[in-house]
Amino acid sequence: MPCVASPGKCHHVSGNVHWHARVKLGNGKRPFVPLDPRISHEDVAAAKAGALAVAVDVEVTAATDSPRETVNDYAKRWLADREGRVNSIRDDRGRLTHHVLTILGPKDASTFDRDDVERVRDDLDRKIVRGDLSWKTAANCWTLLTSLCGDMVNAKKRALRTRDDNPCKDVRAPERGADKAKQFLFPSEFLKFVECERVPLRWRRAVALAIYTATRDAELRCLRWDGGDVDMAHGVLSITRTFNRRTGKVGPTKTGETRRFGVEANLLPLLQVMHKAAKGKGLVAHLASERAMARNLRRWLWKAGVRRPELHEATPTRKQITWHDLRATGATWMAVRGDQPLAIKRVLGHRTFATTEIYIREADAIREGFGDVFPALPAALVDPFGSFARIKAVAKLPAPIWLKTSSIERGGRDSNAFPVSFASARRRSVFRLIVRVPSPFCPLAISTAVR
């Protein structure tokens, strides 16, 4: 029985509406097959012609005794093989589904050709022009498609080899846009941030660690005191693993290579304090959820008075500062200081020197008047008696030094202060603990705000 196809409009997986062909197969099934998205909604004749062409393709495919594998089916096998080896597998699956398989999905995996690949490329270009897709996302989609087609010809696993020719060969990639300027902090801005007591201590310490070690967020998250990552005796840091936020598991580094380098001298006092407080066990840094890292970083920078417009306002050629830019800050500082390029590459763990060169070129342009990089950390940051530790230390003092038994007062104007219980004070967003030490010479008042 010959295949029959009729055109109709239905929703595309990306949310748009365009023509699809309803194909009636010999086994009774009636799947929808997407037609060329360039066919306008009013062009019924073109839709019918496209449906007829689809019917012919499907009939040829169904003519064989054993059904041939479609690109959709092959993509499922290909992605399953990459599971566990590629950290971005969930993103890759979404990119293929929404931007590649909409056109190639129903095609025969062993016979689709260069014209089909160019249709995908042209569709990506249109999305870039309309602003539906950034050029970098389009480039990632194209890389996935070329990798998939390459494995069809020369995959390591023979089961993934389905054809002798590569349909992507010599096909030009989608258009590229301008690279957005990356952000970094000047040393003066960094000091202003870490000295601001309005910013939580753990955030100030985390930012200092990210800049002075120039590690990736996923690498910093799994550093442990008791995991051999921090050699306090010799001041050496070892980066051997990374945290996968998709799976919640620890795996190899982004490049698959480990690295070891000396800790910045001015970071050692902070590490010593943190190591002692943690009793040499557990994670080095307890970072906030990665979903809000960039937004919260900008929030605390603003509260600390670091309000340079480039850090907070995005433009078509410039992006806002993100947590990853703290790593870029450390790289830029090393280049400004004049570190050897190969030493910078080793610390950053770059696979190619071209990536390291980005920071070296930036440093050459801004070195004059940049400021002293990797400055000594302020005492308020290194002081082991941070916000909560100070409360615990005061609570252990002898009872006679307390001003009165209920010495926790509501924060605010003195005229509105009144004694409250500790439990009720904890329910408030901010409260102040005041302890007065009587002395004939200098009555000492310790006051700290706890958030």
Tokens describing residue 113 = 């050709």
Q: Is the pLDDT of residue 115 over 90?
A: yes
- pLDDT band of 166, cuts 50, 70, 90: very high
What residues contact 6, with CB distance under 8 A and at least 6 apart?
21, 22, 48, 51
Is the pLDDT confidence value at 351 over 60? Answer: yes
pLDDT at 422: 39
Mean pLDDT of 214-220: 93
71 within 8 A of 61, measured Cβ to Cβ: no
Q: Write the single-letter amino acid at 431.
A: F
pLDDT in tens, 427-449: 444 434 434 444 344 434 333 44
Residue at token pair 């870039």: 128
CB 19, CB 47: distance < 8 Å = yes
Amino acid at residue number 310: E
Q: Token digits for 273?
A: 């304090």
pLDDT value for 315: 86
Better pLDDT: 284 or 362: 284
Amino acid code (one letter) for 288: A
The set of residues, in sequence order, having a beta carbon less than 8 Å from that of 16 and lying 6+ positions away, is: 37
Is the distance from CB of 339 to CB of 261 less than 8 angstroms? no
In the chain, the largest separation of any two C-alpha atoms, in whole Å, equals 107
Cα–Cα distance list, 351 to 256, 330, 341, 448 (Å): 9, 18, 13, 47
What pLDDT, on a 0 to 100 scale, did the predictor assign at position 405?
34
For the beta carbon of residue 225, count every other beta carbon within 10 angstroms: 18
pLDDT, position 122: 94
Tokens of 181: 């300027």
Rounded average pLDDT over 391-411: 41
Q: Which two tokens stand for residue 76?
A: 């499922």
Report the percent of the chain where pLDDT is more than 90.
Answer: 49
* Whether residue 304 has pLDDT greater than 70: yes
- Report the C-alpha gap between 204 and 221 in whole angstroms: 15
**Which residues does 319 contact at the CB level (< 8 Å), separation at least 6?**
180, 181, 182, 183
Q: How far apart are CA 35 and CA 167, in angstroms?
A: 20
Q: Yes or no: say if 415 and 426 are a contact pair by the CB < 8 Å rule.
A: no
pLDDT for residue 41 is more than 50:
yes
Do residues 248 and 198 make contact, with C-beta atoms less than 8 angstroms apart?
no
> What pLDDT was estimated at residue 89?
85
Q: Look at residue 407 in the predicted model and tell me its pLDDT.
A: 36
| pTM > 0.85: yes or no | no
Alpha-carbon span 132 to 367, nearest angstrom = 38
For residues 160-178, give the mean pLDDT.
91
CA angle 265, 271, 276 (to 5 degrees): 140
- The pLDDT assigned to 46 comes to 82
Query: Percent of the chain at pLDDT above 70?
Result: 77
Where residue 124 falls among pLDDT bands split at 50, 70, 90? very high
Retrieve residue 364's tokens.
């050459």
- Average pLDDT over every residue of 31-38: 76
